[in-house]
Structure 1
Amino acid sequence: MSTTQKADSMVMPADIVPLLEQAEAEEMSEFQSLVVGEERTALSMASVRLRGGVCMSVGNDPDEYWNKALGFGFEAPVTTSLVSDVLDFYTTHQSRVAVLQFAPSVMPTHWERIAREFGLQRTAGVIKFAAPVETVIAAGRSAELAEGLSVEAVRPEHAANWAHTVVSGMGMKENCFLPGSIGTVGHPAWRPFGVRDGDGNYVAGGNLRIHGPVATLFAGATLPQARNLGAQGALVRARALAAREAGCEWLFVETGPSTPERPNPSYRNMLRYGFEIAYQRPNWVWKRPLTHGVSNSISAGSRSAAVS
């Protein structure tokens, strides 16, 4: 894995962006694939691989979080025709809203024109963090977990209780998050961990997904009554140790931006655990046009094909 030097002296892989984006795309796609049978049907779930990326749709999603398209721009360039194909997928599946996520490094020079054609609205998106596994392990050595709490790998018989805790701690509806989380327990690519109190109840949880030489921290959450007791620090360290055991060299994680007006504790925690900012990736939000007949997104794609 080739490397490049950042101004703050941490050596980052030269291919950090495709590693981050591909790991996340596979993570999201695999997570949704773990929802099967009647639950998948009830949630109106669908997905497709497209030009190196993935599009995922959850029709009955009250959080409007899981309709995501990402991982594009590395196997094939981001073009008008690509965006048209992505939005055709969401139009076909009658999605009300979808979020398109592109790393800044793959954006074409005429992206603003494409965004206007399809009515895509930019929002803040996420901060992508990266760190060597050993750096995170070292940063976590001083973390203290409050007396009476313990961190452990989740066993299959505890999967449902753990998953309910994570979903509740994140403040999300159960939708596909609950069955997907349950499905990760025992899966060879995932390493779920939980924090339990003295009565054996889960009060926090988090997941880890292995992707070759890298791993991603996924869905860390703590119930309100157990916050500020060291649970997240313990979970980060436990997952970093699991990543090292799996042979991973780098850890990735994302969280929302932090501003003076809207401080984000997770952002500060990532810096405390040894992570450094790789880049910020905005969200491009599409909403289904409320028109009859052919959607605006499809017709816009036809008009714009010449500039792709």
Structure 2
Amino acid sequence: MDLVELAEVVEANLMFRITGLEPSVLEGLGITGRRFGRGVAISVREDPSQFWSKAQGFGRDDVPVSSELIGEVVEFYREAGTPAANFHLPPDVLPGDWDGIRAEYGLEAGGTIVKLVRDDAPMVDVESSLRIGAVDPSDSESVRAWVETQMIALRVQDALKAGCTWVATETGKPAEGEQNPSLDNLRRAGFKDLYDRQFWIWRP
């Protein structure tokens, strides 16, 4: 299993864990899920951000991305009453007729995320001097970047202590000529770009 496949399968399995929440939470948020081979589709009907309704992890086994598969997933979302869902598909699993498939089901191009990975090289110990206090508006961006850098380092340290050999994460890809400070912070922490993954938006 290569790193792209590993990152996709782990993320899909992690996402599917939300279907095991308390029944009251599942009912309140309208959470349902279904597996399609090693891929998963999650519907969170009452999520106002429309972030958590995702379909991902496809094309990694004997269930390739096809018109039939996308149709089955779309039908799952229709039955769940999902107002919108995002198909997260890395470029290497898209078939040659993908443009026709997405047009058939009305999938619109969304944003692009950058998937990054880091090996188990040790992190420099993080000493936090966080305190509660007023922040001058002119310093807000630098303070935010510093806090995020510390949090990234702490999470990596936790993963290494747990015995992980790889750490994966993702963040939005900035538009041409723009910058994403979170992407810069991750790269400084030793993360390397693994692949870009555009997502595709379905609406009924």
Distance 1:73 1:268 in 2: 30
**TM-score, normalised by the number of residues in structure 2:** 0.88
Distance 1:142 1:228, change over 3 A: farther
Distance 2:162 2:105 in 1: 42
| 1:258 to 2:180 alignment | no
Indicate if the aligned counterparts of 2:145 and 2:181 stay in contact, CA closer than 8 A.
Answer: no
- What displacement does 1:248 show? 1.2
Q: CA RMSD in A?
A: 2.2
Counterpart position of 1:167? none
| 1:232 to 2:148 alignment | yes
Indicate if the aligned counterparts of 2:19 and 2:31 stay in contact, CA closer than 8 A.
Answer: no
Matches within 5 A, 1:95-106: 95-106=82-93
Matches within 5 A, 1:235-246: 235-246=151-162
Q: SS of the residue aligned with 2:48?
A: coil
Larger radius of gyration: 1
Indicate if the aligned counterparts of 2:116 and 2:193 stay in contact, CA closer than 8 A.
Answer: yes
| 1:81 to 2:81 alignment | no
Indicate if the aligned counterparts of 2:115 and 2:195 stay in contact, CA closer than 8 A.
Answer: yes
- What displacement does 1:73 show? 0.4
Counterpart position of 1:202? none
Distance 1:229 1:131, change over 3 A: closer
Equivalent in 152, 160, 165 of residue 249 of structure 1: 165
Distance 1:70 1:242 in 2: 26
Indicate if the aligned counterparts of 1:144 and 1:230 stay in contact, CA closer than 8 A.
Answer: no
- What displacement does 1:270 show? 1.1
**TM-score, normalised by the number of residues in structure 1:** 0.59
Distance 1:35 1:272 in 2: 35
Counterpart position of 1:272? 188
Distance 1:114 1:126, change over 3 A: same
- With 93-102 and 229-238 compared, the bigger mean Cα shift is at 229-238
Counterpart position of 2:24? 38
Distance 1:128 1:63 in 2: 21
Counterpart position of 2:203? 287
Report the number of matched residues.
197
Matches within 5 A, 1:10-89: 15-30=2-17, 32-75=18-61, 76-89=63-76
The aligned amino acid for 1:241 is: Q
Distance 1:128 1:51 in 2: 22
Q: Deviations over 1:276-301 (max 9, x none)?
A: 1111000111110xxxxxxxxxxxxx
Distance 1:96 1:229, change over 3 A: closer
- List gaps (5 residues or longer) in structure 2: 134-139
Counterpart position of 2:111? 124
Q: SS of the residue aligned with 1:228?
A: helix
Indicate if the aligned counterparts of 2:171 and 2:182 stay in contact, CA closer than 8 A.
Answer: yes
